[in-house]
Amino acid sequence: MAREKRINMVILGLLSHEDLTGYDMKKRIDNSISFFWNGSFGNIYPALKELEDESLIKSSNAAVGGREKIIYHITAKGKKVLKEWLKDEQASNELRYETLLKLFFGGGADRSTAIHNIEIFEEKVSQDLALLKMLSKSLEDCLDNDDHLYYYLTASFGVETYEAYLKWCAKAKKMLI
Amino acid sequence: MAREKRINMVILGLLSHEDLTGYDMKKRIDNSISFFWNGSFGNIYPALKELEDESLIKSSNAAVGGREKIIYHITAKGKKVLKEWLKDEQASNELRYETLLKLFFGGGADRSTAIHNIEIFEEKVSQDLALLKMLSKSLEDCLDNDDHLYYYLTASFGVETYEAYLKWCAKAKKMLI
DNA sequence: ATCAGCATGTAAGGCGTTACATGATTCA
DNA sequence: TGAATCATGTAACGCCTTACATGCTGAT
pLDDT of residue A5: 87
A1 in any annotated domain: no
Sign of CA dihedral B62, B63, B67, B68: positive
Please tell me the total count of domains within chain A.
2
Cβ–Cβ below 8 Å for B36 and A101: yes
Are residues A73 and A128 both part of a single domain? no
Using pLDDT thresholds of 50, 70 and 90, give the confidence band for residue A2.
Answer: low
* Residue–nucleotide distance: A63 CA to D8 C1' (Å): 14
CA A111 to CA A114: how far, in whole Å?
A: 5
Of A87, A113, A147, the one marking the end of a domain is A87
Residue B53, in any domain of the structure? yes
Predicted confidence at residue B2, as pLDDT, reads 57
The pLDDT of residue A60 is: 93
Domain of A160 in residue numbering reads as: 98-176
End position of a domain, from candidates A30, A58, A87:
A87
Domain containing A55 — which CATH number? Answer: 1.10.10.10
State whether B110 and B142 are in the same domain. Answer: yes
Phi, then psi, of A145 in degrees rounded to 5: -80, 125
For the segment A90-99, the average pLDDT, to the nearest whole number, is 93
In a domain, B1, yes or no: no
Q: What is the pLDDT of residue B60?
A: 94
pLDDT of residue B64: 75
- Return the residue of B nearest to A13 by Cα: B105
Cβ neighbours of A160 in B, within 8 Å: 164-165, 167-168
Query: Same domain for B40 and B105?
Result: no
Q: Average pLDDT in the A14-28 region?
A: 95
The CB density around residue A122, as the number of other CB atoms within 10 Å, is 18
**Sorting pLDDT into bands at 50, 70 and 90, what band is A114?**
very high
- Distance separating alpha carbons of residues B30 and B145, to the nearest angstrom: 22
Q: Evaluate if residue A100 carries a pLDDT over 80.
A: yes
Task: Write the DSSP string, A44-64.
Answer: HHHHHHHHHHTTSEEEEEEEE
B96 Cα to chain A: minimum distance (Å): 5
Contacts of A11 in chain B (CB under 8 A): none
Q: Are A170 and B153 in contact (CB under 8 A)?
A: no
Question: What Å distances lie between residue B10 and A63, A80, A91, B26, CA to CA?
Answer: 51, 42, 26, 10
Region A64-72 average pLDDT: 83
**Domain end (from B26, B60, B87):** B87
pLDDT digits (tens, 9 = 90+) for B1-39: 457 889 999 999 999 999 999 999 999 999 999 999 999
What per-residue confidence (pLDDT) applies to A66?
Answer: 67
* Chain B CB within 8 Å of residue A9 CB: yes
Q: Is the pLDDT of residue A101 over 70?
A: yes
Nearest CA among A59, A46, A34, A41 for reference residue A5: A46
Does A142 contact chain B (CB < 8 Å)?
A: no
Strand D footprint at Cβ < 7 Å? A 21-24, 27, 41-42, 45-46, 48-49, 64, 67-71; B 2-3, 5-7, 38-43, 47, 65-67
Residue A115 lies in a domain: yes
pLDDT at B159: 97
Compute mean pLDDT per 10 residues along chain B, 177 residues long, and list them.
82 96 95 93 94 94 82 96 93 94 93 96 95 94 93 97 98 96
